[in-house]
Amino acid sequence: MFPIQMVDLKRQYLKIKTEVDEAIADVVQNTSFINGKAVTDFSVQLGQFLEIEHVVPCANGTDALQIAMMALGLEPGDEVITPSFTYIATTEVMALLRLNPVFVDVDPKTFCIDPSKIREAITTRTKAIVPVHLYGQSAPMEEIMAIAKEFGLFVIEDNAQAIGATIRFSDGTVHTTGTIGDIGCTSFFPSKNLGCFGDGGAIVTRDASLANKMRMIANHGQSKRYYHDVVGCNSRLDSIQAAVLNIKLKHLHQYNEARSQAAAFYSKAFASNPNITTPCIAEGNTHVFHQYTMILKDHNRDELVEQLANVGIPAMIYYPVPAHRQNMFSFLNLPAVDLPVTDWLTQRVISLPIHTELDQEQLDFIIDHVNSFTK
């Protein structure tokens, strides 16, 4: 059996090696390392994939979020509603920009922000909502967009974990995550569903003027070379990374399909295990399973992680400390924040290996051990 990893990038690479190696060699031959043709091609291709007009490539998903918040003109002291149960990048950039994250609890089934709790978190200083499509499925965007419209708030989607996922609204229309709010942000970190060979990210929008602003901010705030109109940053997607992404984007549907098949196999095998709650796919959603994260009921989680490690099965806790309990945010005086579902989940979630290369032998091995260790 192949060794089991949380994500197996090597075997995925070997399947597309010829194409990828050629694409990289091409960039090297042309020495078009910055803003080369591969970057322009990728912007066009990603726009087609997501069916959205404007794509601004950037250096990573964290920058994508920061640039989006800068472009919307958010100012120090503005409040941004967001979940605490997410990767730190979502809220870290708010702190960097001196915005105040207002943490809202999540739905215990979907792990995404609970729309019924957003309304009570809105104040006169609230400017935006940043939902996170956690682990690969859409946050409840129909409700979120309705609230945003009612209160005149911006919506920035953190789509780092869900590229290619969709959500069906009550009128039957199907929407792709990242293209629903004002701005969608994504990451091409190697382990993401669409990952490059280093860091990479992109910002998407339907608004041409926002796209121009974001392009400017990502490029030192310049409108014309050496003329800097606004404070920006240096955030570019390298041509080599774009070349890799051009190849991998062609396989993304198939990659997402492989992940969701592995997930379905896990969920079927754990369905009768009373100590496991398998991940829920919300009605109308497609789930691209960036992570396969389940809830462990009455079982010691550390012990399970250790037992699995002993037989060569990695398992991870995403995330052991929610944002509102990070020392980083001590300046916000947050102890009053009460997020019972977030705290409850933080103590009980566990993620199993999920990637495009999991084979039947590996899946059976993982399932047998998880079931026997938790019964």
Ligand X SMILES: *Cc1c(COP(=O)(O)O)cnc(C)c1O
Contact residues for ligand X (CB under 6 A)? 60-62, 86-87, 89-90, 132, 158, 160-161, 187, 189, 199, 201
Whichever of 93 and 153 has its CB closer to ligand X, that residue is 93
Q: Are 133 and 161 in contact (CB under 8 A)?
A: yes
Nearest residue relative to ligand X (C-beta): 61
Q: 110 CB contacts (<8 Å, ≥6 apart)?
A: 134, 137, 139, 140, 280, 282
Q: Phi and psi dihedrals of 85, rounded to 5?
A: -85, 80
Q: How far is the CB of 287 from ligand X (least distance, A)?
A: 15
Q: How far is the CB of 328 from ligand X (least distance, A)?
A: 15
Q: How far is the CB of 364 from ligand X (least distance, A)?
A: 29
Q: How far is the CB of 59 from ligand X (least distance, A)?
A: 8
Q: How far is the CB of 134 from ligand X (least distance, A)?
A: 7
Whichever of 61 and 101 has its CB closer to ligand X, that residue is 61
Whichever of 87 and 373 has its CB closer to ligand X, that residue is 87
Task: Enumerate the H helices of 191-251 as residue ranges.
Answer: 208-218, 239-249
Whichever of 60 and 260 has its CB closer to ligand X, that residue is 60
Q: How far is the CB of 148 from ligand X (least distance, A)?
A: 19
Question: What is the distance between the alpha carbons of residues 162 and 138, in angstroms, rounded to a whole number?
Answer: 7
Smallest Cα–Cα separation from 286: which of 136, 179, 134? 136
Determine the angle formed by the axes of helices 17-30 and 239-249, rounding to 10 degrees: 150
At residue 154's C-alpha, the angle toward residues 343 and 196, to 5°, is: 70
Whichever of 57 and 201 has its CB closer to ligand X, that residue is 201
Q: Phi and psi dihedrals of 186, rounded to 5?
A: -140, 165
Q: Kindly state the DSSP code that residue 46 receives in the 8-state scheme.
A: H
Whichever of 66 and 286 has its CB closer to ligand X, that residue is 66
